[in-house]
Structure 1
Amino acid sequence: MTFNIGGKLYRQIYLGFLGIALFCLIVAFFLAKVFGDRPMKPPPPLAAGLSLLVEPMLALPDAELSETLAELSHKLRSDLTVYGADGKKKAWSDKQRGPETVFANEFGWIRTNGDMGVASPLRNGNTVIAWRPERPEPPWIGRFGVWMALFLILVAIGCFPLARRLTRRLERLQQAVDTWGEGDLSVRATPQGHDEVAQLSVSFNRAADRIERLVGAQRLLLAKTSHEFRTPLSRIRMALQLLEDRANDPTLTRHFQSISQDTEEIDNMVGDILLISRLESKVEELPTEYVDLFSIAQDEGAHFGVPVFGRECKIRGQSRLLRRLIRNLLDNAVHYGEGKDVRLSVEKSGGMVKLKVTDRGPGIVPEEREIVFEPFFRGTQQTGQTRGTGLGLTVVRDIARFHGGRVEVTANGDQGAAFVVTFPCVDNEPPSDRPD
């Protein structure tokens, strides 16, 4: 069984401090009540002096004895009670205090019914008790409550900065880990102090450095390898073109054309790999500008013969990459959607620009909608087709991320698929610096 005392860690630590302080106060109170008011042996002069004052009065009648005790009580500022040899109350001062029966054979403190006094044995077995003066004291709960409240306030003021300082560093580390997990491998935590939290930040930075180096080396190797592939591919394409021009046999011509198509597909794959590497590595700052996404969509839609709906929507981006994104989505819809009622639309919604490509083809099964953007994934469950490089939708995802957007795929009603790319909208384009 667990108890949730706060959503944030600093609240849990803070409330834990306060709970411990409150528990200590309660325990201290009960210990004080049990052990804090124990009887003490009075100083001998006090007990002896009291007996010397009262013993001469014992010969007086009880009524006169009470009057004499009252006079002495006023001088001592303490109520007095005399008990006889049988232990019963015999005489008292102005205020009757103490129980009806008391036996005390020696000097010392005596406590009865919550009252406390000094007992002094007299001759013939009598006893006189000087009760502790009654002082108007506030109730214990009020006095103790004031001190408890003051103590808790001090603890609260002192513990909050301590708890907040500890958890603030954890929050900063969490932010660094979240940012790093989203793909920014350059982010690092700032170690503060020399405790376990600081050591955790150092360990995270060390692991992040190593992973960044490994990923960077992998991307660099992939980019260089892909770039080197293009030179022999170009030579192969040229050689095939020369052979095809000289070939008179139709069979050889068909073979040459098939090989040329395969070579072009490999070249396209290499281009996609290079583009993905550039977008993910972020080592190259690509220039951006304010562009009309609807205008770009119209151009690409006309190329594929696809109707385009919407209106002008400005975003900040790279027009060449945006064209590539739309082209890949339309190419995917035409081939995997079997070209059935492919539509392209651009609209503004809630401060965002949504670009949507829909078709009425077989669609994408729900199990594949999360992984359809992974490299080299080819959905074959619905269509059985394996055309393409398997990188087209990965390029779409990375281009969308480069522009601060995202892409998702859903069902297009009862049939087909709908790819939706969302971009931040630009309401007002800054004025141009160019002269008229």
Structure 2
Amino acid sequence: MGSRLFLKIYLTVLGSLALVVIALSTLAFLGRLDTRSPFEDRVDRFASVMLSSDLSFDQRQAMLEKLSNAFDADIAIYAADGKILQGAGDPRFNTQNADAMPKRRHFRVFSAILPDGSRFVASVRRPFVPPRGNLIISFLVIAALIGVAAYPVVRHLTRRLDQMRTSMENWGSGTLAERVPVSGKDEIATVARTFNLAADRIETLVNSQRNLLANASHELRSPLARLRMAIEMFEVSQSQPTKNEIIRNLAELDELVEEILLKSRLDGDRPPPLDQPIDLLALAAEEAAFADADVEGDEIRLTGNERMIRRLIRNLLQNAIRHGKPPVGIAVRNKGDVAEIRVQDHGSGLKSEDAERVFEPFYRPPGRSETDGGWGLGLALVAEIARFHGGRAYAAQPAETGAVFVVELPLGASHL
């Protein structure tokens, strides 16, 4: 593709030069490139003034001699019947009859009628005008030079396109880390930068989906294994504790699947709408009642997705209950241009290195076994939902014991 494009562009340049050469050569052949001098445009008036009828024969002859020497021309004056009256310059030009005047190459002939009816004729050598054949050769040489100079320019342009094509093919074959080299500030560089930005975004999404799938499949094994064991035990002894264990594992599976679907939807190209009015304090109070947590704060109304904000608050409370110790409290505060949701527990708290990574999907701190559990997708969804509403989530340093998670959401219209 690159070589064919190079040939197309280069042949287009050469074809354009060929058309220009043909057009100029045609004009030169027809004599349309000859420029007319001011003397030629005003030859009648010039001849009438310089060769006035008031001059005597000798004075007119002297004027003819001066004009012949000044213009390096052969000059003659003919009577109305074509007989020569007087002349200057080459005697061969000054024939006895104007009709018998020879034609001469590389000379321009000027003719004018004088006031007394006689005819003035001057044959002047054309200065600085090469023969038409030489002119056509000059055109061909200029076109050849332009063609040679255009070759590296066109080749450089198409080489960059060929590099872009190669990089795109490698990227399309699965090498997602492949990027197009960017050089210059022209349209090709702009296309390369745009492709690289899109490739970065797609690589991030693909890697995110791969990690999500790998971690989700791993996390699903534990509740599935417990569920299988509980079902086998229930077949032997249909006790209430075994039944409760089955229900708890099913609920855990359902919650995990729902979180996976929600995260995939947030990463997809059709995100949920953010056009619902939300009473933040009322929403926090409802979820706090289910989690047996304390709630306080200001009445705040914002626009967003109510289901997602509810999930955000629920995940914060469930995380505090699962990994911390009671009492658990949630506070909703108006901080001017943002609404702050703060959830605090009284557990052992977070290590500084864990506070940076707890929002990663399925993050499990070092030294914690699978039976102790990790943070799964709960806090990762909190961060995603906050970002989706134009806010942020982070782990704060508590004044006392325990862990504190804070979410800040912009007031007014939410946005990505």
Given the two structures, how large is their TM-score scaled by the length of structure 1? 0.44
Given the two structures, how large is their TM-score scaled by the length of structure 2? 0.46
